[in-house]
Structure 1
Amino acid sequence: MHENLQVLADQLAADLGRSVLIEDLSRLLAASALLGVVDQSRKDSILMRRPDDSVKPLHRRHRIDDAREPVLVAADEELGTLARWCIPLRTDVLHGFIWLIDEPPLSPDELEHARSAGARALEVLTRRRQHEARTGRLLDELLTAEEPARQEAAAALLEHGPLADDPPFTLTVVRAGRGDDLAAGDLESVGARLRERMPPAAMVSAVGDGHLVAVLTTTGTANSGASVEGTLADALRDGTPNLVVGTGAPAPTLAAVPEQLANARYAALVAASAPEFGGGAAWEQLGSWTLLQHVDHTEAGVERLCRGAGVLLDPRNEMYRETIETYLGTCGDARETALRLHIHRTTLYWRLNRAEQLLGRSLGDANVRIDLQLALRLGALLPR
């Protein structure tokens, strides 16, 4: 699809002697070489691979989202933008735009030629949306249906979707970080960015409770030496903030992928809760965090793991919780703990003594330390 749009953009640019951009509602789909006169907004869109946010108020004033015919967007001296033609790509819904800088001004014949190119681009975008809708429905069915519907969905995806029957398969979940939710509009935007950054053999679909995006990919398509979750976590940092990624264990068949959905969700939760994972976690590499996947994720569950630990979940005791977490994370090394917390060791000992009083437990007991570290990890996973 992208290759067809790129050829179309290059040909139109050559015919009209000016650069051409083709965008959908959230990303740049194709860009010709910078022919003729260009402005900074055009350069920024190409570099960022998405529409330039700074010119959106200008576009709203020209009502391009409602347009059905080409719209001439006037130059704006304050924004430093040149006049440009916007050709909407629309059926019953808006799919995107073709943009051409109007310097020198387009003749009526040239504008009609651009409209014809827009009709061809619309055909490509319509086919893409139909294909994505079909594969999205099949992926939803694969992840939620019972047998034999699950097997049928897997077979249909291998026949009609982008995936080859080349196991193992990896299920990746993208969700908002702690304290955030993805609105419906954000889901579409995140999904579009994922499709742009994923290899061709991948599928993306919104699943679950409205704030998760599931990505299905064969492990063989991942970049050598780079984890799927790490690659996606890095790629998403330049868009919607505070997104985290979790992957399940590799599945031997496509039909077995749904068994990893819970694991991928849990890995994403850990990635959102534990800064050491850097926003991306693989279920197979969670270590002792996997011990907490199926315990009761409540304050009562925290208390069952370590009597008295629930008091440290009180926001008023955050300082003591942070101190103990750091202390346990350094295996009880007071010097290193004080360095990490940027406090004097005398202050550290006072805090630890006060924490023991709150807990009613001695940190000198190895079993208490083990129980407390697990309890505090569980506390980090609780809803906030």
Structure 2
Amino acid sequence: MESEPPPHPGGPTLAHLLALAGPGLLDVVAAPLGTDVPVADVAVHDVGEDRDDDWAAPGHVLLTLGTSADSPKAVDVLRAADRAGASAVVLRSGPRRQRAALVEAAARGRTALLLRAPDTDWTEVLGRLRTALAHSVAPAAAGVEGLRLGDLAGLANTVAGLVGGAITIEDPRSRVLAYSRLEHAADPLRMLTILGQEVPRWRVAELRERGFFQALWSSDDVVRLAADDRYAERLAIAVRHGGEVLGSIWAAADGRPLAEDAATALRSAARAAVPHLVHHEARGREEAGRRERAVRVLLEGRPGAQEAARGLGVAADRPYTVLVAEAHDTRRPGDTGPPGLAAPSAAPGTDTTEHRVLDMLDLQAAACLPGCVTARSGSRLYVLIPAGGAEADPVRRMVAAVRSVPYSVVLAGVGQQAADLSELAASRESAELVVRVLRERATTAPTRPLASASAVYRDVVSEAALLRLLDSVEPTWQAMSGPVHAMVAHDREHGSAYGESVAAYLDAFGDTRAAALRLNVHPNTLRYRLRRARDLFGVDMGDPVSRLLAGLGLRLARRGG
């Protein structure tokens, strides 16, 4: 990508995109109309979505994440894309011997068929194609030609010369991506922003309250922030690629008034910045993807752990402990997924509550746990902590730091210590068990407010052992029938509370008054329910075996709602 072709004069074509994206990324299997076909956009195609007959994607390059070339759905996906007017479809590579029907279908249509190289992933393909497209459609801007793609510092310095002031390039979360050289003494706010690598939170809140960001993100033009007794005048403009906001460019008076045509220069710079910011974002995603894959190799105990450890700076012969932090948005119930490494729930950079919380946890981990290595997966942050640094206090500080984020809850678990790389998978599993214990505590105590919590494995050994036991017993239990099954089914069908009453009685160790108080009913009401549970279903609290089965069965029933 160091010596990429210039933007295509007649608009981007598939051939030009492939040349810009670099060799070896995609294999052109079939191109009935050739590769000199126009490209309007690069998009992810969700094969699982129901499409209307009038679904259209004219000129799109569609990345079909869920389909490989050997999938039975591949031909249908290709035909649907052809009907929608797509320029190309990208599939995951499959066995060559099974491609004949797919190639034949492609030859009868208009849409080119491309296969993703086996040693690349979708994040890299999407990033490089989007960068190529942005570079192809970006109009030339006077004064900023010749910059290496992704050279944001060079862009900031060049634009500073055009506007006659200081330039800061920020992402949509007001984090600094680049800034121009300091020619004069910067005002205090600019110094704070540069030193902290982000606009101070109090300043962001102030501008949001004044409606400045709403004006900035909803406009294609320059937005002016007048000078006051504290800070110099500022101009800002959003950088957009299609409907996506990539960031913003800010110009501040730097010891002298801004140039008369500063607004015009900023408009031109915003257009020229598109391929640079897309390239920056794509490279960031690729790096995050590589890092996540390396951490997965370590935490899942897969082959290649030694190489992954070297790439992450993890000492192979040093003890580590795994911390798992799980973020939740309490406004929107979500599926936390099965035990194990979580699947990504949103693209990197997505501005959700969970991702804002993970941003803060990542920073806190670096501050509280020296020498740690972090990586994200979905709504989880995985942290490899050198031996001796995974005590409860630093973890509590990490969790406490995110309490300022509204509607967020964090559950953090610290696993058992791993003596070497071969034991990291076991440490990760025990940390995830701790998170599951904390989650079960939250979901089985509806009278308590949902709150962030953390724990280390040694503090929840019994509950973790019970979870493992229930995991093993559950398939057998679900295939059975009996008194507890009948009671649970009756409660679900009729809205009765026999199971809840039995569970409260068991949790109170047979203390009827304590159990009734927890249920907020009279003790005689509870005694009546227990008698009815015995008479109707055979769940007898006077029988030790019945109590054991009821305890296990009701815990398993809570898992299924």
**TM-score (ref. length: structure 2):** 0.47
Unaligned runs of 5+ in 1: 33-39, 64-70, 77-81
Flag the structure with larger Rg. Answer: 2
Corresponding position of 1:151: 306
Amino acid at match of 1:335: R
Counterpart of 2:258? Answer: 107
Tell me which residue corresponds to 2:432: 265
1:332 aligns with: 510
Provide the rounded CA distance (Å) in 1 between the counterparts of 2:501 and 2:254: 63
Q: Which segment is superposed worse, 134-143 or 271-280?
A: 271-280
Check the 8 A contact 2:373/2:385 in 1, yes or no: no
What CA deviation, in whole Å up to 9, does each residue of 1:5-25 have, x standing for no partner? 99x99x9698342524759xx
Residues 257-304 of structure 1, C-alpha deviations (whole Å, 9 max, x = no match): 123333333333332222269654544414144233253475752676
Change (3 A) 1:299 1:145: closer
Please tell me whether the aligned partners of residues 325 and 380 of structure 2 are also in contact (alpha carbons under 8 angstroms): yes
Partner SS state of residue 305, structure 2: helix
Question: How has the CA–CA distance of structure 1 residues 254 and 172 changed in structure 2, closer, same or farther, with 3 Å as cutoff?
Answer: farther
Residues of 2 paired with 1:195 and 1:297: CA distance?
37
How far apart are 1:145 and its partner, in Å? 6.0
Shift of 1:180: 0.6
Deviation (angstroms), 1:332: 1.7
Post-superposition CA distance 1:114-163 (Å, at most 9, x none)? 99xx9xxx99999977754443232123234633x12221233226xxx8
Worse-matched range after superposition: 171-180 or 285-294: 171-180
Task: Give the aligned partner of residue 198 of structure 2.
Answer: 30
Number of the residue aligned with 1:59: 216
User: Residues 194 and 286 (structure 1 numbering): CA distance in 2 closer, same or farther, change over 3 Å?
Assistant: same
Residue 22 of structure 1 contacts residue 98 of structure 1 at CA under 8 Å; is this kept in 2?
A: no
Q: Quick one: structure 1 residues 253 and 16, their matched pair in 2 at CA, closer, same or farther if it must change by over 3 Å?
A: same
Matched position secondary structure for 1:308: helix
SS of the residue aligned with 1:15?
coil
User: Which digits, 9 at most, give the CA deviation of each residue in 1:168-216, with x for residues without a partner?
Assistant: 3224152658941474034644432321221253333344xxx442412
Is residue 468 of structure 2 the alignment partner of residue 293 of structure 1? yes
Q: Is the 8 A contact 2:355 2:379 kept in 1?
A: no
Name the amino acid aligned to 2:258: S
Give the TM-score taking structure 1 as reference length: 0.65
Bigger proportion of residues as helix: 1
SS of corresponding position for 2:236: strand
Correspondence for 1:252 among 419, 440, 445: 419
| Secondary structure of the corresponding residue to residue 216 of structure 1 | strand
> Counterpart in 2 of 1:308?
484
How far apart, CA to CA, are the structure 2 residues paired with 1:296 and 1:44?
50
What's the RMSD between the two structures over aligned residues?
A: 5.2
Amino acid across the alignment from 1:341: L
SS in 1 for 2:546: helix
- The amino acid that maps onto 1:217 is L
Matches of 1:88 and 1:165, distance apart in 2: 48
Change in Cα spacing, 1:337 to 1:254, as seen in structure 2 (3 Å) is: same
Q: Which has the higher contact order (CA 8 A, sep 6+)?
A: 1
Residue of structure 1 in register with 2:120 after alignment: none
Residue identity in the other structure for 2:259: P
Partner of 1:204, secondary structure, is strand
Separation in 2 of the partners of 1:102 and 1:243? 42
- Counterpart of 1:42 in structure 2 is 203
Helix, strand or coil: the match of 2:319?
coil
In the alignment, what sits opposite 1:68?
A: none
3-state SS in 2 of match to 1:372: helix
> Distance between the aligned counterparts of 2:484 and 2:537, measured in 1?
5
Tell me which of 478, 481, 498 is aligned to 1:320: 498
Instruction: Give, in whole Å, the separation in 2 of the partners of 1:235 and 1:225.
Output: 14
Distance across 2 between alignment mates of 1:269 and 1:363: 29
Q: How many aligned residue pairs are there?
A: 341
Gap change, CA 1:220 and 1:296, over 3 Å in 2: closer
SS of aligned partner of 1:108: coil
- The verdict on how the C-alpha distance between 1:136 and 1:171 changes in structure 2, with shifts beyond 3 A counting, is same
